[in-house]
Structure 1
Amino acid sequence: MTLDVDAVKAFVTIADLKSFTRAAEALGSTQGAISVKLKRLENQIGQRLLERTPRLVRLSAQGAEFLAPARELLAAHDRAIAGLSAARRRFALGIANHVGGAELPTLLTRLHAHDPALTIEVRLEDSRDLLAGFDRGDIDAAIIRREDDRRDGEVLATDHYGWFATPDFLHRPGEPLRLAASSPSCGVLNIATRALAAAGIPWTEAFLGCASFAVADAVAAGLATSVFSRRLAPAGTIEVSKRFGLPALPPSEMVLLSALSDARSRATLKTLISAFREHHRRPANAASSVPAAAVLGS
């Protein structure tokens, strides 16, 4: 018996994502096409691999037994394909500090599974630095916060920001608000300070760190408040805009920039986009212990 590798890949992807729709998106296919591949595989091995209802997709008993061997088959296939390549491909990916968080391991895992011969170079910097690097051609693709009036790029998701501090952080009306930031020239900081100025709220720089995680540590230690993406606020902090009468902050689009046009690179970008969007469908957790990346420093 010779198994269809594409059909096995469809089965494993559906099992991992527990959704025909998401699996189709991840594979750059349609729900109907992967359903046909799964049915062909089930007919070939004479076993029902997945139980499907209008609200649930789960492994059958036979599917649970077949999943590990199916992964081994795909891994062996990928190794064989990779061995045919004389040189590894390089893919330089820039991710803005305030964008990359819990999804970063997912993105890297999905990219490696898609193309094991891919050498992934990741740059974690401010959006403006990555934008400059992309325009110079130093980066193949960049996921950044939408800057100013620039409208190119594919929108991946919308991020929402808030003011975060520890529950015991004190700010008295009339006193300058103590802020922590990692870059005095960052776009998010400019938006936040303009909002404070419009609201007539004075502020002072209480902490300036060289990296976003240092800012998160300063806020978690109760030294200051700062602006974070609501999905990436440091553990132990709470949203304090209502408590201290701080102004609301506008949402921000996260976009993917890329000038890659060859078929292999487009397939890589599809995998990247699918993994990012799939992760952002999950409920946000403002108390996450993920290293903060959406701070005043991007």
Structure 2
Amino acid sequence: MSNEVEVIDVNAVSNHAAMHSVMVMEQWGNGETYNEATWVERGRHAVRQTLEGMFELGRALIVLKEHTEHGRFEQIAKEEFGIGRMEVSRLIRATQRFATPQMQKAAPKLMDLGKSKLLELLVEEDVTLVGLADGEEVNGMTLDDVDRMTVRELRIALRENREQMQAKDKVLGDKNAKIDELAEKLEKSKKWGVKEPEPADVASELNIAVSSKTVAIRSHLVQLGEYFAQMSAHEQVHGLPHREVMLGAINQIEADLNLLRGQYDLPVFDGSSETPAWAKVDLPDDGTAFETE
């Protein structure tokens, strides 16, 4: 008896879905039979038309801006097109960016992503966008990856990449500044007849400085572990989640370390080979290695 009821229920659901599809297609689909691929392609076509209209509006804004006074131009944009200063700026910038032959070639694929994602991507260089359209992996993302992302996910990914690049540029800038400083000191010492320090002495000082920093960093990691223990206990007692914050801290530290490793082409020690030379070097042991500052 239960099997019969189940069959009836399944048939009823199927019939209801079919009737619903017919009603929807009668109202919105010109009476056609539903086909997912067909309507996905029509949606993509509508997106392209919307973006083409966006660029046409951008061209109109550029022409109007060049022929009217500032106040009059803003009035036209607001009263005639219903857009404010920020949106006007983004539309003009997008239109100008896609005016070059290279970007026009990449435009069809990028336009399939939709207006919001396209505008988010404009923070990237032209060569980056062209590469993305050509199937290259850019900043760890392909065009398909971007297509699957939400606008928010894309914005976060682009922001994180910019922050990593800024951090890398800062490290490189600091390194270059240090090199320039050392070169300047060397030049002054030559000019005034000051004896240049022995390379071995300089190397020793640098090794000591790095060792000191390593001890400090390891001390902070021990403190971080103590905070993790408190957060874990707090989560167990009160049920408030802390794992995301803990994981975020670890991931950020690893990202910073990988940035240094990649910058100086340092190998990864996986523990499978004999103890490397760096692990045999004794760090200064003055009893402070794991003390809390």
Please, what TM-score do these two structures have when normalized by structure 2? 0.21
TM-score with structure 1 length normalisation?
A: 0.20
Determine which structure has greater relative contact order: mean sequence separation of CA pairs < 8 Å that are 6+ residues apart, divided by chain length: 1
| Rg (Cα) greater in structure | 2
Which structure has the highest helix share of the two? Answer: 2
Say which structure is richer in strand: 1
